[in-house]
Structure 1
Amino acid sequence: MSSTTGAQSLRRVVIVDDHGIFRAGLKAEMQGRVDVVGEAHDVETAAAAVRERMPEVVLLDVHLPGGTGGGGAEVVTRCRDLLEEVRFLAISVSDQAEDVVSVIRAGARGYVTKTISTADLADAVESVATGDAVFSPRLAGFVLDAFGTSGLVEDVRDEELDRLSAREVEVMRLIARGYTYREIASELFISIKTVETHVSKVLRKLQLSSRHELTRWAERRRIV
Structure 2
Amino acid sequence: MLRPRWRPDRAGFGRAAGALSGLALASLSVVVIAAVMGPAAAGAFFVAQRIAQIAGLPLIAANLARARDIAVAHASGDAERLGRVLARDRLTTIAATVLLGSAAFAGAGPLLSLWGAEAAAMRDPLAILICGAMINALCGPTGQVMTLCHGHRALLGQTLVVQGAALALLPPAIAWDGARGAALASTLAVLAGNLVAVTGIRRRLGVDPGIGG
What interval of TM-score do these two structures reach, taking the shorter chain for normalisation? under 0.3
Q: State TM-score, norm by structure 2.
A: 0.25
Higher strand share: 1
Higher helix share: 2
Higher relative contact order (CA 8 A, sep 6+): 2
Q: State TM-score, norm by structure 1.
A: 0.24
